[in-house]
Amino acid sequence: MTPYDAPSPQAAPRNPAALMDGYGRTVTYLRLSVTDRCDLRCVYCMSEHMTFLPKVEVLTLEELDRLASAFIGLGVTKLRITGGEPLVRKGMMGLIQGLSRHLASGALEELTLTTNGTQLTQFAQGLAAAGVRRINVSLDTLKPDLFRKLTRGGDLAKVVAGIEAAQAAGLRVKLNAVALKDDNAAELPDLIRWAHGRDLDVTLIETMPMGEIEADRTDQYLSLTTLRSELESFWTLKDLPLSTGGPARYVEVAETGGRLGFITPMSHNFCEACNRVRLTCTGTLHSCLGQDDASDLRAVIRGGASDAELEDAIRLAIDGKPKGHDFLIARSSAPAVARHMSTTGG
Ligand code: SAM
Ligand code: SF4
């Protein structure tokens, strides 16, 4: 086992009434960032010399479990663990094993993970054993040199081996690729073909203005509407009626038989059906990815709140979930939100 001790009994749902926001949307999906640290430094995500949070500011594994369990008690049925890189956090597998009790109880329908894949050869079996069925792996290129450049030092072979280990462990793997105009746009059809040939779904993501980075985002931004038209010049894309309550829209590529998703926060509005909230590794609840709204749940639990008081704090925060976001990439403009994606979790 890990240093992390057995889960608290507060796991059982206290109040099954749905978590509903002020606009009548029910929140059933929590993304939980377990660390702001990472073994890579992707150019669109982090600056080269990041200052990471002092340990005392980051939730302990017990605190992460308590908060996640409180949300599950309030009707969250889908939990995605993210970061930073979740698998670099010490004791991570213990947390996942602990949280899997909510799968066993039926309170949680799905426990998933978003990872850069570098640690998967070590952890894939354990994830599968804990009841994780699907994971997202971020991969923007199959060119080793470009991968090294985009991640500032990463080793592509490790990630590919990690994906293979995950598939061998029985995990369903979806690739997330950020579309970057100059760096990988031309290669994306090859990446999609490669992935579909290995039974991997792919989701393309537009760059979002989150946190200060060195690069000018207007130079990186590629509209997926444009990209989709290009793909349609040689592929047949069939819309799929699949909705996750999130920003992704899915198509099937007739020629490859694989599924392709488009996440278009910049060129599309998807807020009406939003069912998700995000909790950072410092216990800050962001009920909207693109707004600066924040509720400090760490202060609530470190202040000695009872489970009932924690529940009240969560309900209050969800009640104030903003109607929508307002991303805009304009040259020289400040990021829409100051926090990095690695803090909020993707
Ligand atoms: N380290 C893990 C990974 O890379 O999958 C999990 C955290 S990472 C922040 C989650 C996702 O956010 C990744 O797919 C990454 O490509 C994406 N991401 C990071 N910064 C972004 C940005 N500025 N715009 C769009 N996507 C971003
Ligand atoms: Fe790390 Fe993921 Fe951000 Fe890349 S996108 S720097 S892997 S947290």
Per DSSP, the three-state class of 67 is helix
Could you tell me if the CB of 346 is within 6 A of ligand 1? yes
Could you tell me if the CB of 33 is within 6 A of ligand 1? no
E-state strands within 61-133: 78-82, 110-115
Q: Quick one: pLDDT at residue 7?
A: 55
CA–CA distance, 291 with 40 (Å, rounded to integer):
26
Whole-number Å distance, alpha carbon 14 to ligand 1 midpoint, is 34
Cross-strand pairs, 247: none
Could you tell me if the CB of 69 is within 6 A of ligand 1? no
| Ligand showing the shortest atom-to-Cα distance for residue 41 | 2
Q: Which residues, at least 6 apart from 15, have a Cβ–Cβ distance to it below 8 Å?
A: 73, 74, 311
Whole-number Å distance, alpha carbon 304 to ligand 1 midpoint, is 33
**29-33, strands of its sheet edge to edge:** 237-239, 248-253, 258-263, 201-205, 172-178, 134-138, 110-115, 78-82, 29-33, 276-279, 284-286, 295-296
Length of the chain: 346
- Sequence spans of domains, the chain: 29-344
* pLDDT tens by residue, 68-108: 999 999 999 999 999 999 999 999 999 999 999 999 999 99
Q: Which of 114, 213, 342 most suits a substitution to test ligand 2, by most atoms within 8 Å of the C-beta?
A: 342
pLDDT surpasses 90 at 211: no
Q: Please name the amino acid found at residue 136.
A: N
Tell me the average pLDDT of the chain: 87
Could you tell me if the CB of 343 is within 6 A of ligand 1? no
Q: Quick one: pLDDT at residue 12?
A: 44
- The dihedral built from the CA positions of residue 99, 100, 101 and 104, taken in this order, carries a sign that is positive
Q: Which residues, at least 6 apart from 241, have a Cβ–Cβ distance to it below 8 Å?
A: none
Which residue's structure tokens are 């029985």?
170
Whole-number Å distance, alpha carbon 303 to ligand 1 midpoint, is 32
Could you tell me if the CB of 38 is within 6 A of ligand 1? yes
Could you tell me if the CB of 97 is within 6 A of ligand 1? no
For the CA of 114, the nearest atom of ligand 2: 2
Q: Tell me the fold of 29-344.
A: TIM Barrel (3.20.20)
Pocket of ligand 2 from Cβ distances under 6 Å: 38, 40-42, 45-46, 83-85, 116, 138, 342
* pLDDT tens by residue, 276-296: 899 999 999 987 766 677 899
| Ligand showing the shortest atom-to-Cα distance for residue 205 | 1
Q: Quick one: pLDDT at residue 156?
A: 98
Whole-number Å distance, alpha carbon 180 to ligand 1 midpoint, is 13
* pLDDT tens by residue, 238-276: 999 876 666 788 999 999 999 999 987 655 456 777 788
Whole-number Å distance, alpha carbon 295 to ligand 1 midpoint, is 22
* pLDDT tens by residue, 13-52: 455 578 988 888 889 999 999 999 999 999 999 999 999 9
pLDDT surpasses 80 at 10: no
User: What's the whole-model pTM score?
Assistant: 0.89
For the CA of 209, the nearest atom of ligand 1: 23
Average pLDDT of 163-175?
A: 98
| Ligand showing the shortest atom-to-Cα distance for residue 177 | 1
| Ligand showing the shortest atom-to-Cα distance for residue 87 | 1
| Ligand showing the shortest atom-to-Cα distance for residue 135 | 1
Whole-number Å distance, alpha carbon 84 to ligand 2 midpoint, is 6
What tokens were used for 277?
């909230």
Backbone angles phi, psi at 54, to 5 degrees: -65, 145
Whole-number Å distance, alpha carbon 318 to ligand 2 midpoint, is 27
What's the CA angle centered on 179, arms 173 and 185, to 5 degrees? 110
- The dihedral built from the CA positions of residue 114, 119, 121 and 127, taken in this order, carries a sign that is negative
pLDDT surpasses 90 at 125: yes
For the CA of 206, the nearest atom of ligand 1: 25
